[in-house]
């Protein structure tokens, strides 16, 4: 063992000495290959540290930010620092055990440890967000993550670079639990990786998903819901509130989680939305719906409350449905520390430089010759981190704080202004919908007019959003808690008589009702919208009377409903009853 350590150390010293002449890759490859082959990362790590000390300025006083920058930018130094940190965080003994786990493992380790960009992304993602824990540098990385990573790496050639690589690393670092929380379905990390890869490739996730970092992805792929629930979370948004995709506002679905004790048991996220719940379930649903749609999110603890934080499209993190950051705790730290940390993390280059300085200092400090310089580097890293511009802003600010303990508008509060404005009818006079094969079919988005009045304010009339399915058809959404809300359509009936009206509609709660009526008759048809967990379903047929020719047909919500979306209307002449014998 001693011989091999000495041999490795000697080899490393030689290799590092050759860096300037032969280039960094060669040095690193040889060093790592020997360590992997010998299963001795202790010696490798020590050799790397020795070599790095040789790269530092001769005097500790020369360790300044100005001197650090070119040093960290040096590919050889950067590679060696990454390798040292990689061994330090995973543990030399555990890494050795992994390397000996099979030739595939050794090859995989060789690929990682000779790819500084890969190591950078992986190691930086594992850095804690809080400044104190970054300073301590005492965290570790579970070596099991390498097993998950390798499984994905071997299963998907795409996982070697780009978004797929980052997604693979995130799944390795923050795998989902073995079983989903409420639906009790087994979750497999490889399936989770494939789930989000496929969702991104089919354009079902937030627009900026493909540009997120490994750390961002780690706040998505860890979702403790089944892949089927995640897929439902996207489809439901698409068929119930597609307007919330604009600007990544899916968190507003929390307002649709009825704040009450749920009358139905939670068998999954669908049941949670159906039954409603208080702050805990609303927080869970808020985190879930963000993650399902490719938006990083974290559950937030507040005094006697739970709510949600998510990454906005502008890259800043928001907290909502509770108090502000000042009363929050998440990701193991306080809200202000979190905001400070994610702001620092968002300055990618500077964040990387600070961490490389810290890793370099930690490595140097393990050697007798580098102790003083290592301490100077750690102090410099600490100072740079603390001095980094990281405004935490207004710590009391929160999204929809009035809904922390109440449904929208309850307790007399003015309802939060819906982010989606009420629908405007398409430009130009709407063409009357004519019967084809005797049936009048109307796209709900082709409304002629809309209006209404909320119980607690808010926009007047239906909201309009474009669904990803159904050839991008527009749907209209009748918001919850309306006194009145209607949409009007122009139809051209081929004959006078009774027509059966059937809607393609979606609802997330039981007992939702709409009314259909026509311009010339008082008779209204009560339409019972089936509870469809927010997915399209046909309503039972209801009868309205139409005159022959062009006229208005109106679909209206009943007072104080929970929200219904409509994709299409179908009006079919009702056959005359059989004459009595």
Q: Contact positions toward other proteins, by CB under 8 A?
A: 519-524, 545, 547
Q: Which CB, 349 or 522, lies closer to other proteins?
A: 522
Q: Is 452 helix (H, G, I), strand (E, B) or coil?
A: strand
Select 391 or 522, whichever has its Cβ closest to other proteins.
Answer: 522
Identity of the residue, 216 or 488, whose beta carbon is nearer to other proteins in the bound complex: 488
Residue 579 CB, nearest approach to other proteins (Å): 15
Answer yes or no: are the C-beta atoms of 140 and 91 closer than 8 Å.
yes
DSSP one-letter string for 397-443: --BSGGGSSSSTTGGGPPPPPPSSPBP-PPSSPPPPEEEETTEEEEE
Query: 255 Cβ partners below 8 Å, 6+ apart?
Result: 400, 403, 407, 408, 416, 480
Number of Cβ atoms within 10 Å of the Cβ of 158: 15
- Give the shortest CB-522-to-other proteins separation in angstroms: 5
The answer to whether the CB of 460 falls within 8 A of the CB of 415 is no
Q: How far apart are CA 184 and CA 178, in angstroms?
A: 9
Between residues 318 and 551, which has the closer beta carbon with respect to other proteins?
Answer: 551
Q: CA 53 to CA 92: how far, in whole Å? A: 20
Shortest reach from residue 573's CB to other proteins, in Å: 17
Closest CB to other proteins among residues 139, 521: 521
Q: Could you give phi then psi for residue 19, rounded to 5 degrees?
A: -55, -45
Q: How far is the CB of 297 from other proteins (least distance, A)?
A: 39
The torsion angles phi and psi of 302, rounded to 5 degrees, stand at: -135, 165
Nearer to other proteins by C-beta: 260 or 496?
Answer: 496
| Pair 80, 367: CB distance under 8 Å | no
Residues in the chain: 581
Distance CA 532, CA 537 (A): 6
Query: Which residues on adjacent β-strands are paired with residue 299?
Result: 308
* Closest to other proteins by CB, 110 or 457: 457
Least distance between other proteins and beta carbon 519 (Å)? 5
Q: CB 497 → other proteins: shortest distance, Å?
A: 12
Closest CB 552 distance from other proteins, rounded Å: 8
As measured in angstroms, the least distance from the Cβ of 440 to other proteins is 19
What residues are paired with 493 via a beta bridge? 549
Nearest-approach distance from CB 451 to other proteins, in angstroms: 15
Nearer to other proteins, 346 or 524 (CB): 524
Q: Residue 75's Cα: distance from chain center in Å?
A: 33
Q: How far is CA 459 from CA 186, 451, 463, in A?
A: 42, 9, 8
Q: Which lies closer to other proteins via its Cβ, residue 441 or residue 552?
A: 552
Using a CB cutoff of 8 Å and minimum separation of 24, what contacts does 529-532 make? 529/503, 529/505, 529/564, 531/274, 531/507, 532/505, 532/506, 532/507
Q: Which of residues 184 and 520 has its CB atom nearest to other proteins in the complex?
A: 520
Q: How far is the CB of 484 from other proteins (least distance, A)?
A: 12
Measured from the CB of residue 258, what is the shortest distance to other proteins in angstroms?
19
- CA–CA distances in Å: residue 544 to residues 64, 519, 520, 553, 571: 81, 10, 10, 9, 9
Least separation in angstroms between CB 445 and other proteins: 25
Q: Shortest gap between Cβ of 441 and other proteins (angstroms)?
A: 24
User: In Å, how far from its chain's centre is CA 570?
Assistant: 37
Q: By C-beta, is 383 or 483 nearer to other proteins?
A: 483
Give the residue with the Cβ less far from other proteins, 386 or 520: 520
The Cα angle at residue 417 between residues 516 and 320, in degrees rounded to 5: 120
Q: Decide if 107 contacts 68 (C-beta within 8 A).
A: no
In the 8-state DSSP scheme, what is residue 160? G
What is the gyration radius of the CA atoms in the chain, in angstroms?
30
> Measured from the CB atom, is 260 or 523 closer to other proteins?
523
Closest CA to 296 of 222, 220, 223: 220
**Shortest Å, Cβ 545 to other proteins:** 7
Nearest Cα neighbor of 458 from 487, 476, 481 is 481
User: What is d(CA 112, CA 172) in angstroms, rounded to the nearest whole number?
Assistant: 13
* Interatomic CA distance for residues 163 and 171, integer angstroms: 12
User: Closer to other proteins at the Cβ: 184 or 523?
Assistant: 523
- Residue 39 or 497: which CB sits closer to other proteins? 497
Helix (H) or strand (E) holding 122: helix 116-126
Smallest separation, CB 520 to other proteins (Å) = 5
Contact 561, 482 (CB under 8 A): yes
């Amino acid at each position: 063992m001693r011989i091999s350590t000495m041999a490795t150390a000697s080899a490393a010293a030689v290799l590092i000495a050759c860096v300037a002449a032969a280039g960094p890759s060669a040095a690193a490859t040889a060093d790592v290959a020997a360590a992997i082959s010998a299963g001795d990362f202790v010696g490798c790590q020590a050799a790397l540290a020795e070599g790095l000390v040789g790269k530092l300025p001769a005097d500790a006083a020369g360790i300044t930010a100005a001197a650090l920058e070119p040093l960290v930018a040096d590919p050889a130094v950067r590679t060696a620092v990454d390798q040292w940190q990689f061994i330090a965080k995973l543990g030399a003994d555990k890494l050795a055990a992994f390397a000996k786990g099979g030739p595939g493992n050794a090859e995989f380790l060789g690929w990682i440890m000779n790819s500084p960009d890969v190591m950078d992304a992986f190691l930086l993602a594992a850095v804690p967000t809080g400044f104190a824990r970054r300073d301590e540098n005492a965290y570790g990385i579970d070596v099991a993550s390498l097993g998950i990573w390798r499984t994905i790496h071997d299963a998907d050639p795409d996982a070697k670079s780009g978004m797929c690589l980052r997604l693979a690393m995130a799944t390795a670092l923050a795998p989902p639990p073995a079983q989903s929380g409420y639906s009790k379905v087994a979750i497999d990390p490889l399936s989770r990786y494939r789930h989000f890869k496929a969702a991104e490739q089919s354009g079902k996730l937030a627009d900026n998903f493909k540009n997120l970092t490994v750390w961002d992805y780690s706040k998505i792929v860890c979702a403790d819901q089944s892949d089927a629930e995640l897929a439902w979370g996207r489809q439901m948004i698409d068929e119930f509130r597609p307007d919330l995709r604009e600007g990544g506002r899916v968190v507003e679905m929390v307002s649709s989680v009825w704040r009450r004790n749920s009358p139905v048991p939670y068998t999954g996220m669908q049941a949670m939305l159906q039954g409603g719940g208080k702050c805990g379930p609303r927080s869970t649903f808020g985190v879930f719906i963000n993650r399902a749609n490719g938006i990083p999110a974290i559950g937030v603890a507040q005094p006697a409350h739970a709510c949600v934080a998510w990454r906005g499209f502008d890259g800043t993190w928001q907290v909502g449905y509770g108090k502000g950051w000042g009363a929050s705790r998440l990701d193991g730290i306080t809200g202000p520390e979190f905001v400070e940390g994610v702001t620092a993390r968002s300055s990618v280059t500077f964040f990387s430089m600070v961490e490389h300085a810290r890793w370099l200092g930690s490595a140097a400090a393990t050697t007798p010759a580098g102790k003083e310089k290592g301490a100077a580097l750690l102090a410099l890293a600490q100072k740079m981190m603390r001095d980094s511009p990281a405004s935490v802003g207004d710590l009391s600010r929160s999204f929809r704080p009035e809904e922390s303990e109440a449904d929208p508008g309850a307790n007399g509060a003015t309802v939060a202004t819906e982010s989606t404005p009420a629908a405007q009818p398409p430009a130009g006079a709407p063409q009357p919908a004519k019967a084809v094969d005797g049936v009048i079919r109307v796209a709900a988005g082709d409304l002629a007019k809309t209006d209404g009045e909320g119980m607690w304010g808010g926009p007047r009339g239906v909201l309009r959003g474009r669904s990803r399915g159904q050839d991008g058809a527009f749907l209209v959404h009748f918001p919850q808690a309306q006194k009145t809300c209607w949409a009007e359509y122009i139809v051209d009936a081929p004959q006078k008589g009774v027509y059966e009206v059937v809607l393609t509609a979606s609802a997330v709660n039981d007992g939702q009702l709409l009314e259909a009526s026509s311009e010339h008759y008082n008779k209204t048809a009560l339409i019972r919208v089936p509870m469809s967990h927010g997915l399209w379903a046909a309503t039972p047929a209801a009868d309205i009377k139409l005159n022959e020719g062009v006229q208005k047909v109106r679909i209206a919500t009943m007072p104080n409903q929970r929200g219904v979306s409509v994709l299409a209307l179908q009006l079919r002449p009702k056959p005359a009853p059989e004459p009595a014998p």
